[in-house]
Each structure stands twice: as C-alpha cells, then as structure tokens.
Structure 1
Amino acid sequence: MENIRYAEELVREFLVFRGFTSTLQAYESELSTEIGRNFQVDKTLDLVFSEYIPKYQLGRLVGLFTFFKQCFTSPADTELFSTLVKLELSVLRYYVVNALKSGRQDKVVEFFGESGNYLMQKREDWLAWFGALSYPSLAYIASMVFSVSHALSI
C-alpha cells in the first residue's frame, strides 16, 4: 500500500510540474471516490474491449500489457507472468480476428508489421493458431512475416 501512495504522489507531482491543473483536479476527484481505491478489473477490460480493440489502438494495447508485465518482476511471480503472456497472446489474436471481421485488412497488415518481431518469439503458438484459420490472406500475411523475420535473423 505504501508503494501505491508513493506512486500517487509522483503522479500529483508530475501533473503540478507540467501545469495540468484540470487533469490534477480530475485525478484528485477520482482518487477520493471508492472507485479510485482498488484495481478496477472491469474498467481495464472495458478499456481493452471497448476502446483499444474496436478503435484499432494497437500501440496502447501493447503498452498496457507491457506495463502489466513490468509489474511481475520477482521470481515468485513467474506463474502470474506466464498467465499474463498467454492472456496477451489471446487478446492480440482477438485484435486480429476483430480486424478481419470488420474488413480492416490494413489493420492486420499493420499489426504484423508492428508486432512481427515479438510474435517470432512466440512462433509455435502463432503457427498452430494460423494453421487452424481458414483465411488464406491471413495465413499468407503470417507466412510472409515469419519468412522475412527468419531471413533477417540469419
């Protein structure tokens, strides 16, 4: 709990330093409510599935998972970290499926362009997943990304 208070003070200090007075007021107001006292899983899920994925905000989605992974740094957190990585891969797959269902092939190409190197680290998971898909365009894109990434690593 002490770390949370320290982090809250750092945020306040930053907002004051930058002159974000209206943001500081909103921050203070939300902290004083019961909602601001606990981690809100529902709000985080709403952010992911109502904002980041439908609005194709891949950078913010990846950034959120990067933040969560940084929270699990001790050896005791290895099981939680592993679970978080699996969740991240599932959400990224959902992002791709959502883009395909919406006819946004450009977002699929952008996804593989931005995430191709990271996905290569999890290649086995992704290859099995792509093998089950019936979207030839997605399988083609995936094979191109994997081929280019493999050629670059040689």
Structure 2
Amino acid sequence: MKRLLHALHELMVIMGSAVERTDEHVREYLIYRGFTSTLKHLDNDIKTDKEKGFRVDKIIEQLQQFVVSFDLCGLKEYWLYLDRRLLCRLEDVYRSTVLKLRTSLYRYYVIHTIQKGNLEKTQEFFQKQASELQSQVEWRDWFILPFIPAPEQNPAFSPYFSRQWADTFLVSLHNFLSVLFQCMPQPVLLSFDAEVQKTTSLTEENERLCQLLFALQMESRDQREVDEMVHHRLPIYVQNMDRLGDTDL
C-alpha cells in the first residue's frame, strides 16, 4: 500500500511538472506571436488557478487554509468548484464517496472551530448549514455538538478529535484526488510534453548505453592485445640463448 501511495505521489509530481512546463511553452508561443493581451489573461488565470496546476498537495493546502482561517464561505465555494469542475465527471458509483469526503471535510472544519475555542464559528456553521444538513442522517446528532460540555470526551464525538482521524481524512482525500487526476483524459499539449520527456529520457539512456558499450569494447580490445602478447612470447631459454655456451647446445 505504501508503494502504491508513493507511486501516486510521484505521478502527481510528474503531472504537476508537466503542466508547469506546458504553461511555459504556451507563454513562450504567445510572446513569440506578440499576443500580449492574451498573455496577460493567461498570467492572471495562472495566478488564480483553483486547480493549482493539478497539484493535489496544493489543493489540500488551500482547503486547510480555509479551515484554519474559519472561512466557511470560502471552503464551501472551493469545494463546490471542485465538484462542478472535476468530481461531477465521475461515474455515479463514486458519488457516495464524494459525499462522504464532503461530510468529513465539514466535520473537519467544525472540530477545528471547537478545538480553537471559537464557539461563534461553530454555531455559525450549524445555522448556515441547517437547511442542507438537518435532513441528512449522518448530521442529525451533530446539531447538539455546540451545547455539549467537553465534546472531545463524549464517546460519540471523541474519535473526531483525534489526530489519527484528521490525518486519515486528509490522506484519503489526497489519494482520491490523485487517482481522479491520473484518470482524467489529458489534452494533446500535455501528451506532447510527456512524449518529449520520454524521448529525452530514451536519448539519454541510449547515450549512456553507447558509452558503456564503447568502454566494454575498449576493455575487450586491450585484453585481446594482452593475450596476443602472451601467446607470442618466446620461452625463457630462447630469450637467453645469446648467453649460452657451445657446451649448452
């Protein structure tokens, strides 16, 4: 499992790098063509890119930033954007997983408000979300949360106050988005970048193998020369014949 997660992380880093390189290629082309107005719009869009160049770690950081700053409106809008832009493309069989992740995200926010002692933000959440969440079974018991003394000690809520629960949720969300991005069809430009990187890698590998082959050939040639010298070397007594007397012949 760890190997799979590591592989997913590596793939997302590669994809993020590919997106950044492609953005630079587009910028260079726009500069070359003199499309300065389009270039300005591109730069502005990149600065406000909510998908963070498909960097899952950056998306998670943005969600956490909304939680830390008690920005419920920003959190909801950002999740809604991700849902409209990415999550809604999934098959219906994955919809329940998306809803569970959203529920966990909201709970993550609520727990944070309580842990930081910001009861006003806790009550604000339930007031603003009442019409949406009251009818949902998984939220019915949560509306009494602001009125429970020491909720972190309550058996029904204590698991959500643990570091393990928070870490598990964030890792699950990270992995889900990583798989989603990997399965998305890529535009031709990104595929082109992948082919360029593949060709470059193959060229470098080919050059390395050629150098290795050349070194082996040189080593083999040197060895043959040594063998030939040994093969043609005369016996010791022949080499010393000039020092032999007639009686030794």
**TM-score normalised to the size of structure 2?**
0.37
Q: CA deviation at 1:84?
A: 1.5
1:15-50 residue CA offsets vs partner (Å, 9 max, x unmatched): xxxxxx9x74643666xxxx96x411110100111x
CA RMSD of aligned residues (A): 3.7
Give the paired residue count: 112
Query: Are the equivalent residues in 2 in contact too, given 1:69–1:81 (CA < 8 A)?
Result: no
The partner residue of 2:106 within 92, 107, 121 is: 92
Rounded to whole Å, the distance in 1 between the matches of 2:131 and 2:46 is 41
Rounded to whole Å, the distance in 2 between the matches of 1:70 and 1:28 is 18
Cα distance, 1:43–1:94 mapped onto 2, change above 3 Å: same
Alignment-derived partner of residue 62 in structure 1? 76
Alignment-derived partner of residue 113 in structure 1? 127
Rounded to whole Å, the distance in 2 between the matches of 1:90 and 1:43 is 19
Which secondary structure state, in structure 2, belongs to the residue aligned with residue 94 of structure 1?
A: helix
Query: Are the equivalent residues in 1 in contact too, given 2:119–2:146 (CA < 8 A)?
Result: no
Q: Are 2:119 and 1:102 aligned?
A: no
Which secondary structure state, in structure 1, belongs to the residue aligned with residue 132 of structure 2?
A: helix
Which secondary structure state, in structure 1, belongs to the residue aligned with residue 134 of structure 2?
A: helix
Q: CA deviation at 1:57?
A: 0.6
Query: Are the equivalent residues in 1 in contact too, given 2:72–2:125 (CA < 8 A)?
Result: yes
Larger radius of gyration: 2
Alignment-derived partner of residue 44 in structure 2? 27
Cα distance, 1:125–1:46 mapped onto 2, change above 3 Å: same
Rounded to whole Å, the distance in 1 between the matches of 2:76 and 2:149 is 24
**RCO higher in 1 or 2 (8 Å CA, sep ≥ 6)?**
2
Alignment-derived partner of residue 17 in structure 2? none
Which secondary structure state, in structure 1, belongs to the residue aligned with residue 44 of structure 2?
A: helix
**TM-score normalised to the size of structure 1?**
0.57
The partner residue of 2:139 within 111, 115, 126 is: 126
Q: CA deviation at 1:128?
A: 4.9
The partner residue of 1:78 within 73, 89, 92 is: 92
Unmatched 5+ stretches in structure 1:
1-20, 140-154
1:88-134 residue CA offsets vs partner (Å, 9 max, x unmatched): 11011111110001010000111111111111232x10235568x69
Aligned-pair identity in percent equals 24
1:9-20 pair list within 5 angstroms: none
The partner residue of 1:46 within 46, 61, 64 is: 61
Rounded to whole Å, the distance in 1 between the matches of 2:81 and 2:146 is 33
Q: Are 2:148 and 1:136 aligned?
A: yes
Query: Are the equivalent residues in 2 in contact too, given 1:53–1:95 (CA < 8 A)?
Result: yes
Unmatched 5+ stretches in structure 2:
1-37, 152-249
Partner amino acid for 1:120? Q
Once the two structures are overlaid, the 10-residue window that deviates more, 112-121 or 54-63, is 112-121
Rounded to whole Å, the distance in 1 between the matches of 2:91 and 2:104 is 20
